[in-house]
Chains A and B, each alone.
Chain A
Amino acid sequence: MEHIAIIGNGISGVTAARHIRKLSDKRITIISAETDYFFSRTALMYVYMGHMKFEHTQPYENWFWKKNRIELKKGIVKQVDTESKALHFNEGDKLKYDKLIIATGSKPNKFGWPGQDLKGVMGMYHKQDLENLEKYAPNNKVCKRAVIVGGGLIGIEMAEMLHSRHIPVTFLVRENSFWNGVLPEGESNMINKEILSAGIDLRLSTNLKEIVSDENGQVKSVIIQETGEEITCNVVGLTAGVSPNIDFLKDSKIELGRGVKVNRFLETNIPDIYAIGDCAEQYKGIDQRRPIEAVWYTGRMMGETLAQTICGNRIKYKPGHWFNSAKFIDIEYQTYGWVWAQPKENEARFYWEHESGKKCIHINYDKDSREFIGINNFGIRMRHEFFDKVLNEKQSVDYVLEHLADANFDPEFYKLHEKEIVTKFNLENNSNIKLKKKSWKRIFSKA
């Protein structure tokens, strides 16, 4: 029986394993050093915040793996011997494979800051980070202040986590507005305000110079690059992005860039070795996606795709239209299609913000053809299916505005703003778009 070894029990590896099992009888082993069972990494924050227990982050009950004959092995892979097709573990044992899937995910970036390995300095990525945070920041008596370095999604999540336990947080962001490499000005500004109004000490255009140790090798303070200010703190969160977790492959024959290089079939340069998820790097970004995508659903999609290939049906990885979502403290965010931080030459934009400053939408479309390119929606939920269809059918911005009621996905009885939005658009563009009533028929009709 063919033996498929999967390094990494995150969403990519587990999805691959599940689908291989659906399609075949192959022997499957998932290897992880992090946890015994698959859990949802994105939910770690809720465990610290007390919304959930760790067990709630596990999508499958513990009997699931045995029942589906997916072997789980705990261990750290030290070396991949591509010649003899064997994995060598730190613990000294080895495991033979016929096919190998590398799905080791990411690790937090560290940029060589002085003091970055002190006690009380941590990322927020692994389960061990959560345990560390629980140790160094159980409450605001032990941790009197925390400093977060790096203004991305994990940074704001970590700020929210600490804030939930009433620990004062200083949030250092290199850019002059939160996440403005991704978010356009309006949205970025809205999130700046959200962070500040939650009582988090947001410092924009601020870099970390060094982390200062106390006599026990623990964090005592950080020093700011620009002003030299010293901020006393007990915990430092390093959240300046993530990069592929592939150090153990450095001496192997597998071709590496920033991640494990793969083709559109998710194959590496070595036959029978594949890479999926955060650690895989496409030679060239697909459509307008980046070569490395550290996104939950792309990991899942790669796992599904690769399972087909491994089970004898070799197919390309073809992600559909870009979409994503996040939550910034109390503001939910979704995006469908592309809305770049800076408009491209052919693009026109429409931005509407609610008077509360907690909701906005930002639509991107082609200046000349009026084709809809993408939407950012904050504080308003939108229907994925609607925008997927719009993008497939290359509908115009006018179509989207006309059918905004179909697109809305807010819970029932929520106040809707479609009229206001369309009115604003008409005013700015001298157009006469009329909002159509919501139609179930349209919503559920197939493209």
Chain B
Amino acid sequence: MKLIKQSGIILFLIGLGIFIATVFLGSFNLKQEQLDSFLKEKNYKSTIIAGELQKAIVTNDALNIFEFSSRVRQAYATSNAHYDNLIKKYDTEKNWDKKGEQFQYKISGKLHSISFSLAKTSGKGLAVNNTWLMWFLTFGLAIIGALMYIIPDVILLGKPGIKNNGIFLNAATNRGWIGWFAFIFLVTFYILLYFYPDYIVNWVYLVDPISKSISGNPASQWFLYGFLYCIVMTVMAVRMYIKYRHNKYQILRTTSVLFFQIVFAFLIPEILVRFEKPWYDFKNAFPLDYDFFFKWNLQELLDSGAFGLFILVWGIILTIVVVPVMVYFFGKRWYCSWVCGCGGLAETLGDPYRQLSSKTLLSWRLERIIIHSVLVFVLVMTGFALYTFFSGKGEILGIQTQTIQDIYGFLIGAIFAGVIGTGFYPIFGNRVWCRFGCPLAAYLGFVQRFKSRFRITTNGGQCISCGNCSTYCEQGIDVRAYAQKGENIIRSSCVGCGVCSAVCPRGVLKLENGPEEGRINPTDVLLGNDVDLMNLVNKK
């Protein structure tokens, strides 16, 4: 068994190694007609970009992706610099008309994304020509290896039950060197994904056939991400099934998040695209889905006929009716740990790291400030977006809607939700985004805290203050602080993962939905205690 496990980790590492090496493989260069069709599509006004790009990448040289990217960006820089110089020149000549004319020739946009789309049409080499072989050597080996590493736990972990042995003695799960490597890998991955997609174009090639079979289109980096997300969640869900095989709540919850990720976040949107409908994830509620009310999205939905309208109405109902009503009956867990994709990744890939969340009072304070600031931010931004949509004006009080949207997309959408939210799993625990950043979680939290039937019931006086519940709370709630006083746990941040209840050695905690009355502090008597005494203790 141990041997299988060890071979598994080796296979996994080989797969991962080849995956990383794939970045450096292959060569890129364009034929003239490829460039022509690209330029035709882009319809740049610049008169020199065509020549610059031709010089740069229409070549017989086998460029690697970094050279290719750098040449593409250089070509755009040259073109833009040319017009910048003209602008400066006309400026000194005070030739305002001429100066004004030049701006139209400048090309904006993310250069790495442009470079990505060029590279995506012009790659050669193993990833492009032997896609399935390379797929097997990367994804395939990593999946097989990971499963070989995970499945022997059925026997190695011992009988079903809580087996957290050695978690704080392990370099992977206690911020040891493995944890730091995982951290660096994840952060790098997200930075590449969001900001340097051209560098990982070979990875995207690997999933092209899969994308084509689902949506009919070649893959983008977002398809790669979605696919990887599903694979990682599936493999790590197997781990959850084994680890919590005695706990039906965990089994069902894991199945649910897996289902919603694969079907709702991955398959349905891609299939919609196949039928020329807008890409839409039906479970992704605003304000987590922060660009739902952006002008371009509303426009696209309105242009998509009845189906687009349906999405628009559903998206609004989801946020203002479905979400709060469900939270009233079941707590925010129905979304955060049964449906949500971010939650899904946190509960599968992130589960080994849940014990790393900070439980200090200070982090609770920070949490409340930060998450509610993000909520305010997203609401203000949406206000701007709606104003812009209805009035057609691009700015209010001199502030550009587009600027706010760009800042949010960069700071919150990419850096916070992605790079920090997932990249920091091995250091700050698996719910960094959900706890500190997610505006939807903040909204659900208000409902859960003030109007819900959900609570974690504390079982009378059975708590022995051992601290397992607090340690394994991914949201950093000091569960013990409530349990040892006999108080129910009603916290806006609780995502109802149920692990505090699972790890409790004395059967103290139970997630349940019941009448609102008496939900908070139903036990004015800490059970087992003398009633008269407790009356005194509770007297203020």
Contacts and interface: CB of A to CB of B under 8 A. Distances in A.
A binds B: yes
B467 A52 contact: yes
Interface stretch (B88-96, B112-120, B513-521): B513-521
A50 B507 contact: no
B529 A412 contact: no
B529 to A, nearest CB: 5
Interface in B495-540: 498, 501-503, 505-507, 510-512, 514-515, 517-518, 522-523, 527-533, 536-537
Given A40-B464, A42-B464, A409-B507, A50 B528 contact: no
Given A50-B164, A308-B533, A313-B536, A320 B528 contact: yes
Nearest to B246: A330
A43 B162 CA distance: 15
Most buried by B among A52, A382, A410, A440: A52
Interface stretch (A53-61, A248-256, A395-403, A424-432): A53-61
Contact of B522 (A47, A49, A165, A444): A444
Interface residues of A, number: 59
A301 interface: yes
B362 to A, nearest CB: 9
B248 interface: yes
Interface stretch (B6-14, B143-151, B455-463): B455-463
A432 to B, nearest CB: 30
Contact of A164 (B166, B467, B481, B510): B166
A330 B533 contact: no
Contacts of B460: 323, 383-385, 388
B376 interface: no
A320 B530 contact: yes
A281 interface: no
A179 to B, nearest CB: 17
A245 B25 CA distance: 70
Given A43-B468, A411-B510, A413-B248, A164 B528 contact: no
A205 interface: no
Contacts of B518: 444
B63 to A, nearest CB: 50
A427 to B, nearest CB: 28
A414 B468 contact: no
Given A332-B505, A440-B514, A318 B164 contact: no
Contacts of B480: 59
A165 B512 CA distance: 35
Interface stretch (B27-35, B42-50, B167-175, B284-292): B167-175
B164 A51 contact: yes
A381 B468 CA distance: 17
A296 interface: yes
Contacts of A323: 460-462, 527-528
A122 B539 CA distance: 45
B466 interface: yes
A412 B529 CA distance: 28
A197 B249 CA distance: 26
A317 B533 CA distance: 9
Contact of B466 (A57, A388, A440): A57
B361 interface: yes
A323 B462 CA distance: 8
A65 interface: no
A313 B510 CA distance: 36
Interface in B364-384: none
A46 B468 CA distance: 8
Interface in A184-232: 197-198
A327 B515 contact: no
A325 B507 contact: yes
Contacts of B467: 40, 43, 46, 52, 56-59
Contacts, number: 173
A239 interface: no
Interface string B156-168: 0011111011111
Nearest to A440: B514
Nearest to A51: B164
A305 B530 contact: yes
B466 A415 contact: no
Contact of A46 (B462, B466, B510): B466
A330 B161 contact: yes
A255 B142 CA distance: 70
B470 interface: yes
Contacts of B252: 413
A53 B530 contact: no
Contacts of B167: 50-51
A405 to B, nearest CB: 13
A441 interface: yes
B515 A441 contact: yes
Most buried by A among B464, B465, B503: B465
Interface in A363-396: 381-385, 388
A325 B504 CA distance: 11
Nearest to B360: A61
B498 A327 contact: no
B471 interface: yes
Contacts of B492: none
B484 interface: yes
B78 interface: no
B131 interface: no
Contact of B471 (A51, A315, A317, A381): A51
A411 to B, nearest CB: 5
A315 B462 contact: no
Nearest to A441: B515
B529 A330 contact: no
B247 interface: yes
A321 interface: yes
Nearest to B486: A384
B247 A11 contact: no
A381 B459 contact: yes
A409 B459 contact: yes
Given A19-B537, A304-B533, A444-B518, A411 B464 contact: no
Nearest to A414: B248
Contacts of B246: 330
Contacts of B510: 381, 409-412
Contact of B530 (A318, A327, A409): A318
B506 to A, nearest CB: 4
Contacts of A164: 165-166
A50 B457 CA distance: 27
Contacts of B360: 61
A383 B510 CA distance: 10
Nearest to A320: B528
Interface in A9-25: 11, 19
Closest 10 CB pairs of A and B: A384-B460, A330-B161, A381-B507, A43-B466, A318-B530, A50-B166, A50-B169, A327-B505, A413-B248, A325-B506
27 contacts: A46-B164, A46-B468, A47-B168, A49-B166, A50-B166, A50-B169, A52-B355, A56-B467, A58-B467, A59-B481, A165-B165, A165-B166, A198-B158, A198-B159, A297-B461, A297-B462, A301-B533, A320-B529, A325-B462, A326-B506, A330-B162, A383-B459, A384-B459, A411-B248, A413-B249, A414-B248, A444-B517
Given A51-B167, A320-B529, 15 more contacts: A46-B467, A46-B468, A50-B169, A58-B467, A59-B467, A59-B481, A305-B533, A315-B536, A323-B460, A323-B528, A329-B161, A332-B506, A384-B460, A385-B459, A441-B515
Interface of A: 11, 19, 40, 42-43, 46-47, 49-53, 56-59, 61, 164-165, 197-198, 296-297, 301, 304-305, 308, 313, 315, 317-321, 323, 325-327, 329-330, 332, 334, 381-385, 388, 409-415, 440-441, 443-444
